[in-house]
Structure 1
């Protein structure tokens, strides 16, 4: 009985010491009413897309709204760069390489 308790305690302590910690940070794209981050690389560069019209924000799921442009963004060291493919209605950046 003592051995099983000791084993449980040791396994619990080792598991807790290996637990990862995360830091959450807001992503604020100027002029956006909603922002979705879709990719982050090992350098901490974040990419995604944002909406500029409140009526375009998806209530749930992947609902598509007509006449609601989506704009892409890339954030590096806290600096946001807005990305838009020329002559397109929408640009969504879905991933980023290292």
Structure 2
């Protein structure tokens, strides 16, 4: 993976996606929170998402990436792999370091 590393507003990521992932109803149901920007690395936009765990007792974090061409979104690693936003951000930084 190589290429320009830049930031883009999450609104652009959301606009590229052709599906229900970012719908208001889905975000409310899962209690989803998203950052203001995504990190563009090559052909992908990387971002974290957070959702409450299944019993609603904790908020956990997942690293995601979106293919900039197709708009499809996939999980990087495991769903709700990170206990804090700092851990998820560190994982994205590590991906960026490997791309340079």
Q: TM-score normalised to the size of structure 2?
A: 0.43
Q: Which protein is bigger by CA-based radius of gyration?
A: 1
Say which structure is richer in helix: 2
More strand by share: 2
When normalised by structure 1's length, the TM-score is 0.43
